[in-house]
Amino acid sequence: MDSSRLLRTSAVALAAFGLLLAGCTDGSTAPPASASATTASTEDLKAYYGQRLAWRACGAPEFECATMRAPLDYAKPRGAQVKLAVSRIKATGPGKRIGSLLVNPGGPGGSAIGYLQGYAGVGYPAPVRARYDMVAIDPRGVARSEPVQCLDGPQMDAYTQVDQTPDDPGETERLATSFRNFAAGCAKRSGRILPHVSTVEAARDMDILRAVLGDARLTYVGASYGTFLGATYAELFPSRTGRLVLDGAMDPSLPTAELNRDQTAGFETAFRSFAADCVKQPDCPLGTESPARATALLRAFFDRLDADPIPAGEDRELGESLATTGVISAMYDESAWPQLREALTRAMGGEGSGLLALADSYYERESDGTYSNLMFANAAVNCLDQPPAFTTPKQVAAAVPSFEKASPLFGEGLAWASLSCAYWPAKATGSPHRIEAAGAPPIVVVGTTRDPATPYKWARSLAAQLASGTLLTYDGDGHTAYGRGSDCIDTAINAYLVDGTVPPTGKRCR
């Protein structure tokens, strides 16, 4: 179970911080965020901003794809380059085209192109698709854009099964060794790009794309981790920021350990909501007494799996780590709750394939045993964006009680998952800081009250930090809110994107 700071919209989860560039930014100030982005001039970047994309047919009908160039290292823009994959679907009409709308589903590591072609380009509300070219760029290191690679399929299978609730020094060392081996695999296979996949660099890439597309300002919908990417863009380029929707917001001011602890509490909140619903259902495998009793029964089941994994088909088995990941996967979207009830019923009867399927979708494992690069890119970006939450197993052990207080069910495992960046081969270039983006036009921050992955308090905090932030609240379950069935949320965001109408202060939807 490696769930630490994997922040992506439910459409992805269930389908399967530097000195500003002199002359390239717009004169705003920000805390140091990326040591690789300190010494570029307008002339240095002119060729990138002036490039023309060669669009071609690709993938699904009506979508076009292209390749965009960017500096591998913004401190050395005349040096090596990185090739970034871009896709779009043109505005459908009726109505006059407004411009380009860039979308990002989060992660970090989620494929924005996969999200565009599989969902946003055809599933976003029609009034928005009518007026905007829908555009996506896979961030550097992700999917089609020179993906970070770390482990092969069998190695990744072994990695996801490592016990993340160690009971003795031997199990603790095996867990630490798995993190070391993961990091070493990334360094071996992706050493060129590994130091250059930070959120700051991805935001700078988005500004090149904005210019190449011919837009004076960036219009953007970012979900989950995508909110941090969007807020970082606004921090770097406030005068080039247009209408930004940050849905399922992160709080950039929090250190890693606190982010991970808050997320742990978010999954606990989501599970309690699931449990309250489950005990009312005739097929609930966790009893019909109370949510507290349901939690106790699942905790006891996890403990049994820790000692004795069960068969899960295809010569695979289900242990505590994969079972926990399967449950966490279903917390992203309440529509997955019936599937989780069935999977738990089967697992508690000795057959684990249902929970394993949920875990596989979370890790983006294919039926042939291969994995997407989601988890590799996720670690690479997270470990650059902030210093590690913990650097030694001893520090984790000391923090476990506070994580268990946040979540008796998930706390111990998520505390140990927070050790993963301790052995990372590329030094962190970012640090936690407030993002104000002074000078940017109104930015809409969306928070869901029982969001499992990005707790609601993060949305409140980010909206308060941003000089022009306004908070739109969805009182409900699941991860993110736009395009997930709330007419109230969709109408408010559509009006903002199409007409520039900012939701009133304090607006709540149910």
What does residue 487 show for φ and ψ, rounded to 5 degrees?
-60, -35
> What mean pLDDT comes out for the span 222-242?
98
Polymer length of the chain: 510
Q: How confident is the model at residue 8 (pLDDT cuts 50, 70, 90)?
A: low
Fold of 7-146+199-255+433-509: Rossmann fold (3.40.50)
Q: Tens of pLDDT along 245-273?
A: 999 999 999 999 999 999 999 999 999 99
Strand (E) or helix (H) holding 474: strand 469-477
Q: Sketch the domain layout of the chain as residue ranges.
A: 7-146+199-255+433-509, 153-192+281-423
In this model, does residue 37 exceed pLDDT 90? no
Residue 82 backbone zone (phi > 0: left; psi -120 to 50: alpha; other: beta): beta
Cα separation values, 199 from 8, 36, 52, 226, 430, Å: 15, 12, 24, 10, 9
In this model, does residue 40 exceed pLDDT 80? no
pLDDT at 233: 98
Mean residue pLDDT of the chain comes to 92
- Cα–chain center distance at 43: 34
Rounded Cα gap, residues 112 and 315, in angstroms: 33
> What mean pLDDT comes out for the span 337-344?
98
Rounded Cα gap, residues 4 and 465, in angstroms: 24
> What mean pLDDT comes out for the span 370-398?
98
Known catalytic residues are 224, 451, 479
Q: How confident is the model at residue 413 (pLDDT cuts 50, 70, 90)?
A: very high
Q: What is the CA radius of gyration of the chain?
A: 22
In this model, does residue 407 exceed pLDDT 90? yes
Rounded Cα gap, residues 236 and 253, in angstroms: 16
- Burial 49-67, CB ≥16 within 10 A → b, else e: eebebeeeeeeeeebbbbe
Per-residue HEC secondary structure of 93-159 comes to: CCCCCCEEEEEECEECCCCHHHHHHHHHHHHCCHHHHHHEEEEEECCCCCCCCCCCCCCCHHHHHHH
Q: Tens of pLDDT along 133-172?
A: 999 999 999 999 999 999 999 999 999 999 999 999 999 9
Q: Which two tokens stand for residue 367?
A: 């039926």
Q: Which residue has the tokens 């609730």?
A: 165
Identify the sign of the CA torsion 139, 143, 147, 152. positive
pLDDT at 20: 22
Rounded Cα gap, residues 386 and 423, in angstroms: 13
Q: Tens of pLDDT along 269-324?
A: 999 999 999 999 999 999 999 999 999 999 999 999 999 999 998 899 999 999 99
- Quick check: bond before 77 cis, omega within 30? no
Rounded Cα gap, residues 121 and 102, in angstroms: 11
Q: How confident is the model at residue 60 (pLDDT cuts 50, 70, 90)?
A: confident
Higher pLDDT, 240 or 7: 240
In this model, does residue 101 exceed pLDDT 70? yes
Q: How confident is the model at residue 2 (pLDDT cuts 50, 70, 90)?
A: low
Rounded Cα gap, residues 89 and 356, in angstroms: 35
In this model, does residue 23 exceed pLDDT 60? no
pLDDT at 6: 63
